[in-house]
């Protein structure tokens, strides 16, 4: 097993990604950060990530498409949805399509760390 988790982080708001990337790197993850969902989608098609963290509401490509692509590429990939517009319908759709978890914005770095730790645990990484 690899030492570090490979994470793709996608949010069209630069401030979100720039804030979360160091949080994830601090707990020992390799993070590829994207603001453009199309570029993120291309990268997902190229590489199997352990974890994909994606916003939902984005121009051109939405988070559900990212979720579907990531799960199609690898059903082991854990997809975590982050959104400021959470609804029951959205939550259920995301879970139904294989999301690992969903977090509503605003959230703290601790909230994200806790979800990442759960995802890492289910991937067999015990020491995150």
Interacting residues with other proteins (CB under 8 A): 86, 88, 91-93, 95-96, 98-99, 101-104, 111, 114-115
Which residue, 33 or 80, has its beta carbon nearer to other proteins? 80
Which residue, 66 or 115, has its beta carbon nearer to other proteins? 115
Give me the least distance between CB of 57 and other proteins, in Å please: 15
CA–CA distance, 119 with 121 (Å, rounded to integer) = 5
Q: Alpha carbon 93 to chain centroid distance?
A: 16
Which residue, 20 or 41, has its beta carbon nearer to other proteins? 20
Strand order in the sheet with 29-34: 29-34, 5-10, 51-55, 78-83, 101-104
Q: What are the backbone dihedrals phi and psi of residue 106, each rounded to the nearest 5 degrees, phi first?
A: -80, 150
Give me the least distance between CB of 17 and other proteins, in Å please: 19
Give me the least distance between CB of 35 and other proteins, in Å please: 23
CB 79 within 8 A of CB 52: yes
């Amino acid at each position: 097993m690899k030492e570090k988790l490979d994470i793709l982080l996608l949010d069209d708001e630069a401030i979100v990604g720039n804030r979360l990337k160091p949080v994830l790197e601090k707990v020992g993850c390799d993070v590829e950060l994207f603001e453009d969902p199309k570029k993120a989608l291309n990268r997902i098609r190229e590489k199997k990530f352990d974890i994909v963290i994606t916003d939902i509401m984005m121009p051109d490509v939405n988070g559900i498409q990212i979720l579907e692509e990531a799960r199609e590429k690898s059903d082991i990939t854990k997809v975590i949805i982050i959104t400021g517009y959470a609804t029951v319908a959205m939550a259920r759709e995301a879970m139904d399509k294989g999301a690992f978890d969903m977090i509503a914005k605003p959230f703290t770095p601790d909230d994200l760390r806790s979800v990442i730790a759960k995802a890492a645990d289910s991937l067999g990484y015990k020491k995150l």
